[in-house]
Structure 1
């Protein structure tokens, strides 16, 4: 059996209110459009999650909400400012067949690089910009068996490919 992971970095956030703490920053206008476009793209491609994990930061929750899936997210403080190793440990406890994880760099980009034997042929993968979304499959029957270099790339996209096409 296969387990699928959709790994999305939150969409572009607003920096216009210096009074807000980092976890409280919302999406900006471009980020809102990008999140909606990502949700549409995922549905069009048939990449629909049955479990969603987001960090406790507002911008990750806003990103997921704008994606438009009718599934409650599991919000975790443990996904804010985490390392690649911490993401691996969290995912090892996942229960869904297709898990969408919405998080932050640098941990998310590092995790994406570490789960693949080789990166996808995409100029933006190494920087994992806001809204970057990687879809991978693991040939495992349970998330407890997730391992470094164990994923196969299914797809990778950045929002500009969707909003400026």
Structure 2
């Protein structure tokens, strides 16, 4: 019985540690902070990210996640009670659901959002601020992202 209890406890701690990492990214190649620009993605990476993010299942997951977080926030009664990385994560989910081939990183502090990285088109860049402001608790949005179309995988 003690071994099972120890196994369960260590599993919960491990999962909690992994779940609490604050690396809100829209793809595996997104920059690790809002201080640096991401690398320009290849065409293959963009197609893979786009097919994953454009899938109905993925979009439903993201929208469900956003609704659940909003409901949890409503239960606490205050934006100030929100977990430290929760606002950035919600904004990241919203951007990922609506800009599937973006390579964006989101940081939040006291309701101020900073979004950096790259997107494929000017239209996508223009969507970032309005999408971020749809999330409850966002007071301001600084878009430090750039338009950088994907580069070809072929070597010339």
- Which structure is higher in strand share? 1
TM-score band w.r.t. shorter chain: under 0.3
- Report the TM-score, using the length of structure 1 for normalisation: 0.27
Q: TM-score, normalised by structure 2?
A: 0.28
Between structure 1 and structure 2, the one with the greater Rg is 2
Larger helix percent: 2
